[in-house]
Structure 1
Amino acid sequence: MDVAELRQDTPGCAGLVFLDNAGSSLVPSVVHEAVVAHLELEARVGGYEAQERAAGLVEESTGRMAALIGADRGEVVFFEGASQAWSAALGAVVLEEGQRVLTTTSEYASNGVGLLRLAALRGVRVEVVPDDADGVLDVGVLEEELGRGDVGLVAVNHMPTHSGLVNPVEEVGALCRRFGVVYLVDACQSVGQWEVDVERIGCDLLSGTGRKFLRGPRGTGFLYVREGTPLGEPLAVNHIGGRWSGPGEYRVLPGAAGFEAFEHAVAAQVGLGVAAGYALDVGMGWARSRIGGLSGWLRSELGGVPGVVVHDRGRELSGIVTFSVVGREAEWVVGALRERGVRTSVTRPFDQRWSAGPGHAVVRASVHYYNSEEELERTVGWVRSLV
């Protein structure tokens, strides 16, 4: 891919070093134009007629999203955020009182709260699988726990939000298939920067967002539901995902269709489809290589600056680079970099209660394929000056 062309497609690159792609990335011009075009259509003809006219674009959006993750179109449903999609999937998993739900130390706060709420409602036990020596989910311990039985669900994040580690989701998937346990994957940080293939992962459910590395609009997300996955009814059902089949009866549509909702932002869904198409054109193999090379260089260079500590761990590392400057609060560092035109963010301990992290807030710099080597060199120089 031509990086200069990708940067030209991204107006936000002008005069700004954007390293907060794990938060909310810069959208390409084509995504911006697609969203604005639909909003202008709504302004002219109203939301309902605009939705009718955009029916083909909405179908294309779902198809592109499915293609990006290796799913069938009927296995993907649109949501207005990944946490919403993940929570909907969690609520539909059939669990019996006393069963165990296995998860990772690196779950984000939203997932942790959701799992604990599930335990309170259903009487299940949430158990955190420890990390191995490299700091990722210990697959050997997971196998032992699955072998003990009474596991109703395994819920794992592919890449956490607070560090560069990558969990071995494909190995976990092989174990879940072997033991016949439902498998839910949070792919918020991986869709758009790595190849995410639901068949290779072997998951039954997978959630993702549009605003991060996928470069879609905010307020967009999706859920993958493998056809034939034994699920209960979603906690929230309306007349799109369900049918009012009689005065006192209803039925919920099977699979992903049962999660469909009537009301949603059509412009945002169209934009998400354009972002998925853009990612397909870029190619996730190339994106992974480009992001890995840039973030690896940044991680190495920052680690060589006296007074800077890099906190990432794992056998494989994502485009998220976390670090701290000795004697400086993370918020101060982020603010100082912002004054120099560099956008980073802060990740805080209360976002990951199960993780044995540094115990204090750190700076998160998340690289994308449109970042340039020169931008990263300037960033390292500015961090060195802050020390």
Structure 2
Amino acid sequence: SGLVQPVEAIGELCQAKEIWYIVDACQSAGQLPLDVEKIKCDFLSATMRKFMRGPRGAGFLYASNRVLQEGLEPCFPDLHGAQWTTPDEYRLAPSAIRFEYFEKPYELVVGSAAAIRYALDLGLENIEQRVKALADLTRQKLAALPGVRVLDKGAELCGIVTATNPAWKKPALMDALKNANINFSTQGRHNAVIDFDEKGVEWALRVSPHYYNTEAEVEALVEALGSL
């Protein structure tokens, strides 16, 4: 769903109890500003292929100073992230490089760097404002369609919009949206068992408007769904 989790409040609790805190920011990076100092996480990971608009197969990992000071390390460090000192010992790199490996796809690194620069040039606050506005519009338009139930709940929502309709048949819905050149996905119960069981659905439509989308494209989505 489009719920934005209270990661900063969770970080406060984890820090107070000295609990290791790992944040999966795959759906946040590129649509929401991320400040690891405010989140107070020990690790934060994200993929480049979603809202970052980067290449598939690339991602990034943040590791806090606490992680480095406590000596946490990957399961299999190599000679890029550690120095071999004796036959039975090695010394970890003092920085987060210890979590990197020597072999890497440089074309994905270059593509990721370009995507990051592009997002920073636009401004994450500007992106967040535009994405949330389009997502709110999408929810309003979908909720006005007969039989449609928007599934997103919570105090703060982001650019992920999920909806269901008992009258929708998945093959017909997929054909209609593909014929209208609309990018979308369908999510089944196996993707979110607890959430879907609570909401009483077996599958849902998911759309994720980004800053480059237009209000006219939202209308095209609603029109295509209205024809089903």
Same fold (TM over 0.5): yes
2:132 matched to which residue of 1?
Answer: 292
2:85 paired with 1:261 = no
Paired residue secondary structure (2:46) = strand
Decide which of 144, 148, 163 is 1:323's aligned counterpart: 163
Runs of 4+ residues deviating >6 angstroms: none
Cα distance in 2 for residues equivalent to 1:346 and 1:298: 16
1:377 matched to which residue of 2?
Answer: 219
1:314 matched to which residue of 2?
Answer: 154
2:189 paired with 1:349 = yes
Decide which of 63, 79, 84 is 1:244's aligned counterpart: 84
1:169 matched to which residue of 2?
Answer: 7
> Are the counterparts in 2 of residues 330 and 362 from structure 1 also a CA contact under 8 Å?
no
> Are the counterparts in 2 of residues 325 and 333 from structure 1 also a CA contact under 8 Å?
no
Pair 1:251–1:231, CA change in 2 (3 A): closer
Paired residue secondary structure (2:65) = coil
Is the deviation greater in 305-314 or in 290-299?
305-314
1:179 matched to which residue of 2?
Answer: 17
What is the root-mean-square deviation in Å for CA atoms of aligned residues? Answer: 1.4
2:51 paired with 1:208 = no
Paired residue secondary structure (2:66) = coil
| TM-score, reference length from structure 2 | 0.93
Query: Deviations along 1:140-171, whole A, 9 cap, x unmatched?
Result: xxxxxxxxxxxxxxxxxxxxxxx111100011
How many residues align? The count is 224
Cα distance in 2 for residues equivalent to 1:331 and 1:269: 37
**Aligned counterparts, 1:48-67, within 5 A:** none
**Stretches of structure 2 lacking an aligned partner (at least 5 in a row):** none
> Are the counterparts in 2 of residues 211 and 220 from structure 1 also a CA contact under 8 Å?
yes
1:225 matched to which residue of 2?
Answer: 63
* Counterpart amino acid of residue 213 in structure 2: N
1:357, distance to aligned residue in structure 2 (A): 4.0
Identity of aligned residues (%): 42
Pair 1:236–1:357, CA change in 2 (3 A): farther
| TM-score, reference length from structure 1 | 0.56
Q: Which has the higher contact order (CA 8 A, sep 6+)?
A: 1
> Are the counterparts in 2 of residues 309 and 326 from structure 1 also a CA contact under 8 Å?
no
**Stretches of structure 1 lacking an aligned partner (at least 5 in a row):** 1-162
Pair 1:328–1:252, CA change in 2 (3 A): same
**Aligned counterparts, 1:145-160, within 5 A:** none
Cα distance in 2 for residues equivalent to 1:294 and 1:268: 29
Cα distance in 2 for residues equivalent to 1:291 and 1:375: 13
1:255, distance to aligned residue in structure 2 (A): 4.4
Query: Deviations along 1:237-281, whole A, 9 cap, x unmatched?
Result: 111112221223222224412111011110110110110010000
